[in-house]
Chains A and B, each alone.
Chain A
Amino acid sequence: GAVVSQHPSRVICKSGTSVKIECRSLDFQATTMFWYRQFPKQSLMLMATSNEGSKATYEQGVEKDKFLINHASLTLSTLTVTSAHPEDSSFYICSASRGGYTFGSGTRLTVV
Chain B
Amino acid sequence: KQEVTQIPAALSVPEGENLVLNCSFTDSAIYNLQWFRQDPGKGLTSLLLIQSSQREQTSGRLNASLDKSSGRSTLYIAASQPGDSATYLCAVRPAKAGGTSYGKLTFGQGTILTVHP
- Contact check, B36 vs A43: say whether CB atoms are below 8 A apart: no
Report the Cα distance A104→B32, complex, angstroms.
Answer: 20
Task: Tell me whether chain B's interface is mostly helix, strand or loop, or mixed.
Answer: strand
Task: Tell me whether chain A's interface is mostly helix, strand or loop, or mixed.
Answer: strand
Interface size class of A (residues with CB under 8 A): 20 to 34
Q: Which residues of A contact B61 (CB under 8 A)?
A: none
- Measured CB to CB, the nearest residue on chain B to A93 is B43
Q: Is A28 an interface residue, CB under 8 A from the partner?
A: no
Interface size class of B (residues with CB under 8 A): 20 to 34
Q: Is A49 an interface residue, CB under 8 A from the partner?
A: yes
Of residues 68 through 117 on chain B, the ones whose CB sits less than 8 Å from some CB of chain A are: 89, 91, 93, 100, 103-105, 107-110, 112
- Contact check, A43 vs B43: say whether CB atoms are below 8 A apart: no
Instruction: Choose among A42, A57, A105, A108 the residue with the greatest number of B CB atoms under 10 Å from its CB.
Output: A105
Q: Which residues of B contact A102 (CB under 8 A)?
A: 46
Which of B41, B42, B105, B108 has a CB less than 8 Å from the CB of A101? Answer: B105
Which 3 pairs between the two chains have the least Cβ-Cβ distance? A103-B44, A105-B43, A106-B43
